[in-house]
Structure 1
Amino acid sequence: MTTALRRLRNYIDGEFRDAADGRTTEVVNPATGEAYATAPLSAAADVDAAMAAAEAAFPAWRDLIPAERQKVLLKIADRFEERAEELIAAESENCGKPVALVRSEEIPPMVDQIRFFAGAARMLEGRAAGEYMEGFTSIIRREPVGVCAQVAPWNYPMMMAVWKFAPALAAGNTVVIKPSDTTPASTVLIADIIGSVLDELGHSRGVFNVICGDRETGRLMVEHKIPAMASITGSVRAGMQVAESASKDLKRVHLELGGKAPVVVFEDTDIPKAVEDISVAGYFNAGQDCTAATRVLVHEAIHDEFVAALAKAASETKTGAVDDEDVLYGPLNNANQLKQVKGFIERLPAHAKIEAGGEQVGDKGYFFAPTVVSGLKQDDEIVQQEVFGPVITVQSFSDEKQAVEWANGVEYALASSVWTKDHARAMRMSKSLDFGCVWINTHIPLVAEMPHGGFKKSGYGKDLSAYGFDDYTRIKHVMTSLDG
């Protein structure tokens, strides 16, 4: 007997709908490698319907006083808590993530982030009104940009959806969001939650819409005439394509792309503590995190000791089933990603040494062992390109100047960390490292109040914080004559 696949649907103007042409794609649980659902493969007619719904809902949502939008977001946060177990189950099946970690590491920050932006809705800031020309008063209006086309990734589909819709809705925009074609389940559930809140509080459910589909669906969203802004979290290639497509009608673009975070470890570091924290930051979520601690640069004086300790930590790190509370991470998200990670290992140069891991785990699903690779050079592929898997590379540096040069010597510039007891050195490094975030003696913590975003090919625009909120607003100058 074959198990019937669950049927996921688009959410457009408050209704769950199949794709207009009936096309679907199968959704696979990466922990088993087996399909568990179907989702719409949306085309132009579906995108048109969602954009029209968001456009129709925009004027009333825009014109609400901020306190009313805040009420909606606070109610959404409450509902996330009330339906947490549903969200956890959906995300675990979506991604193969350990249930316990979704419960402890994703639900609480998501709820907190929604509540943060609920507060931000009432904290619009601008220059003080005043007379900057004799006889005239100038004021600044901060307004929503309009309909936002948003594309979320597959590594944190639920949390990245929050990072996108929360500031957009708080600022008065309406939303059409597309989850990855491999991870639509939790976003469809979020649509049910938000739609029910909008309905209860008497607002148009067209404020929030979900379209399932593939890259072509995303392209149709970005190129559609209605959205004023396109936001994507994804690969560098996808970001470049979005920027090119959006340029045709000068849409605003918000890009959070890849990362290759350097982890610079100096000789005065507490090695056991650093190894413990770095291995968690490198392997959490199977290394499928743009800020993951995957590129370690360690001072030559402690290189051998550090590598041995890191390899031991990797051998003690566990990946496995979603219901095993002892595992740190689950599988890679899809078969293509498993193939990509394997490819990096297979193409390692002769001078590289696999200190731990380096192979697929089990014969079911897309699990990969926690891996440490040493003996690498700055221009090696695995140092320069984002692996997006549970692989930590190690290089040995001789002095601070070389550490900075190698740390900055990649095309990505999202996150980095410095490990030292020397405060002055930490300050010098934080100034010299060309990354959107520099952690000192830690790696990967995020808070709603602080911005997340990078430079160079890691994209532009900020998530979280007041800066992320500002990205979803536009500035208008209003000048009035005092002569009446």
Structure 2
Amino acid sequence: MTEKELKILGIKLKNYGTSTGSDWFTNKDTILSSSPTNGKPIARIERTSHKDYEKVIKEAENAKLIWRDIPAPKRGEVIRQLGEKLRETKPTLGKLVSYEMGKSYQEGLGEVQEMIDICDFAVGISRQLYGNTIHSERPGHRMYDQYHPLGIVGIITAFNFPVAVWAWNSALALVCGNVVVWKPSEKTPLCAIACQHILADILKSNKLPEGISSLITGDAEVGTWLSKDRRIPLISATGSTRMGRQVAITVAERFGKTLLELGGNNAIVVTPNADLKMTIIGAVFGAVGTAGQRCTSTRRLIVHESIYDKVQQSLVEAYKQIKIGDPLDTQYHMGPLIDTDAVQIYVNALTKIKEQGGKILVTGRVLDGEGYESGCYVTPVIAEVENHLDIVQEETFAPILYLIKYSGDVRNAIELQNNVRQGLSSAIMTTNLREAEIFLSQNGSDCGIANVNIGTSGAEIGGAFGGEKETGGGRESGSDAWKVYMRRQTNTINYTSSLPLAQGIKFDL
């Protein structure tokens, strides 16, 4: 990206300590932002010190007193302005997402569109923060429940969706009357800085405190500060199951609340009644989109034995057409992995597949040569395996698709699909109504997301997003996910001159 494009997003590289030479990699007080597309450093960003962290939290505490007293529809107006600004900056912000994270430019634009969509959704929610009116058993009494802001919401996000997940949380948390403190992935800090600039400018133009939205940068240590901080009632954390488990334990020790969006091990069930053309499109995009680095990426394809060979052949042919290269070049389907550490995880997974008895159908390798100088480009893999293998039970954040054969009816496939520790996204490909309904029933998929005739990857803003088991149980985005950012209060009003007790209890004086 050019400096001119970054300035559109409020980023002036000289303000972030850009440099050249070996000191890019040796300064412990900074985070290096580099692009996996070419391996080149973009900027060096200062880490948040504990002293600065305390300043941020104090400003947030002051800002929350002002923000929560602003009527919810007025808060919604601020988020509407955010959505409009995102529309203006979509091409540039989408390009930054693509360049810093490595996903295709089309996916970068799609991620910014998710931000716009959640802003639109949140504006509507700002006029619908409803409680219930409840009939009291006592005459002359009225009961109802209402929702109040929590205060400060801490947001920890992952590299694979460096801007959208922040928006999912912030748009809703803000219209609910909270202020937010964001700790982004240290692998994509510039995307976070761009978003912070956009919202900060809107707050300033509305004469609102900048502490309504704050950004802190750093590694896991900074995330631990958030998790331990009793001044932050809710921590929303997106990332690996390992990270989420630590956050959950730390926050639970102080009786805080968590919203966890963690690992996925997503499967598509393909029955004999599937539309195979749709199946191949859904499976290939699900497996190679974002280079397999989505939490909803398709990891497993569970195929009925009667069509297994046909599906396998079609997939192998489809994989021959996948083009890998610079994600900003729209001719390519797949870009790089986020860094060389991710590449090593990919390589290790291929070794484990072979060691555990799997069969590689489409061989994977690390690409080198012209255009692949970063060392982060790999080829997608298809492996024939059994569901119980240890490597299949893990989530490998890479473009590796496992083919698994099933026999009998759809219930056998569902049992295989559910037999992993994660429970995020799932799908079935079938034109048979009974199979679809069984899959969606209480005896069907155990995931938070269950789709029919679409893949596991990609979700609309209107529905609640999240999963069960080691996925963490959190729900973000649509439906009534806004309620997690608020505290519920039950109110009972007695407008009589007597004091009857509940359950008919008598207590006379």
**TM-score interval, normalised by the smaller of the two chains:** over 0.9
User: Residue 37 of structure 2: which of 8, 16, 31 is its match?
Assistant: 31
- Paired residue for 1:395? 404
Q: CA deviation at 1:324?
A: 1.5
Q: Per the alignment, do residues 9 and 121 of structure 1 end up closer, same or farther by CA in structure 2, a change over 3 Å counting?
A: farther
Distance in 1 separating the partners of 2:137 and 2:195: 47
Q: Distance in 1 between matches of 2:351 and 2:290?
A: 22
1:286 aligns with 2:274: no
Task: Report 1:102-181 matches (<5 A).
Answer: 102-103=108-109, 105-128=110-133, 130-181=135-186
Equivalent residue for 2:316? Answer: 311
- State percent identity of aligned pairs: 25
1:356-435 equivalences in 2 (<5 Å): 356-362=362-368, 363-365=372-374, 366-374=376-384, 376-399=385-408, 400-431=410-441, 432-435=444-447
Distance 1:378-1:322 versus aligned 2 partners, 3 A rule: closer
- Which residue type is aligned with residue 274 of structure 1? T
What's the counterpart of residue 267 of structure 1? 272
Q: TM-score, normalised by structure 1?
A: 0.93
Whole-angstrom CA distance in 2 between matches of 1:419 and 1:230:
36
Runs of 4+, deviation exceeding 4 Å? 7-10
**Match of 1:52, SS?**
helix
Aligned-pair CA distance for 1:55: 0.9
For 2:7, the equivalent position in structure 1 comes to none
Give the deviation of 1:419 after TM superposition.
0.8
On the 8 A contact 1:138/1:480 being kept in 2, the answer is yes
Tell me how far 1:349 sits from its aligned partner. 3.0
3-state SS, counterpart of residue 353 of structure 2: coil
Residue 84 of structure 1: aligned partner: 90
| Deviation of 1:285 (Å) | 0.6
Q: Give me the whole-angstrom Cα distance separating, in 2, the residues matched to 1:451 and 1:101.
A: 21
CA–CA separation in structure 2 for the residues paired with 1:9 and 1:132: 63
Change (3 A) 1:383 1:7: farther
Provide closer, same or farther for how the CA distance between residues 383 and 142 of structure 1 changes in structure 2, counting only shifts above 3 A: same
Give the superposition deviation at 1:8.
Answer: 6.6
- 2:23 corresponds in structure 1 to none
- Asked if the contact 2:142/2:492 (under 8 Å) is kept, the reply is yes
Q: Is the 8 A contact 2:424 2:447 kept in 1?
A: yes
Write the deviation string for residues 172-194 of structure 1: whole angstroms up to 9, x where unpaired: 10000011001111111111110
Change (3 A) 1:322 1:167: same
What is the CA deviation profile of residues 368-392 of structure 1, one whole-angstrom value per residue up to 9, with x for unaligned ones?
Answer: 1121111x11221331100111111
The correspondence for 1:206, drawn from 211, 217, 227, is 211
AA partner of residue 399 (structure 2):
P
Q: 1:442 aligns with which of 443, 447, 454?
A: 454
Cα deviation for residue 9 of structure 1 reads 5.6
Secondary structure of the equivalent of 1:290? coil
* Paired residues of 2:265 and 2:394 also in contact (CA < 8 A): yes
Kept in 2, the 8 Å contact 1:9–1:188? The answer is no
1:54 maps to which of 57, 60, 70 = 60
The Cα of 1:442 is off from its aligned counterpart by 0.6
Q: Secondary structure at the match of 1:295?
A: strand
Q: Can you give the 5+ residue segments of structure 2 that lack an aligned partner in the other structure?
A: 4-11, 18-26, 498-509
Specify the alignment match of 2:346 in structure 1: 341
- In 1, Cα distance between the equivalents of 2:166 and 2:214? 12
Of 64-73 and 24-33, more deviation after overlay is shown by 24-33
Is the Cα contact below 8 Å between 2:299 and 2:400 reproduced in 1? Answer: yes
1:393 to 1:99, Cα distance in 2 relative to 1, 3 A: same
Distance (Å, rounded) in 2 between the aligned partners of 1:357 and 1:200: 54
Deviation at 1:7, TM superposition (A): 5.5
When residues 382 and 440 of structure 1 are mapped into structure 2, their CA distance, relative to the original with a 3 A threshold, is: same
Q: Does 1:453 align with 2:466?
A: yes
- Taking structure 1 as reference, are residues 60 and 129 closer, same or farther at Cα in structure 2, changes over 3 Å only? farther
Matching of residue 476 in structure 1 with residue 489 in structure 2: yes
In the aligned structure 1, how far is the partner of 2:323 from the partner of 2:340?
20
SS at match of 2:245: helix
Distance 2:378 2:28 in 1: 36
Distance in 2, Cα, partners of 1:467 & 1:194? 24
**CA distance in 2 between partners of 1:133 and 1:289 (Å):** 53
Say yes or no: does 1:98 pair with 2:104. yes
Shift of 1:424: 0.8
Q: Which moved more, 1:108-117 or 1:145-154?
A: 108-117
Q: CA deviation at 1:107?
A: 2.3
Q: Give me the TM-score of the superposition, normalised by structure 2.
A: 0.89
Q: Tell which deviates more after alignment, 173-182 or 23-32.
A: 23-32
Q: Is the 8 A contact 1:315 1:357 kept in 2?
A: no
- Pair 1:465-2:483 in alignment: no
CA distance in 1, matches of 2:432, 2:472: 31
Unmatched segments (≥5 aa) in structure 1 = 11-20
Deviation per CA, 1:48-72, whole angstroms, max 9, x where unpaired?
1111111110011111111101110
Code of the residue aligned with 1:299 in structure 2: it is: H
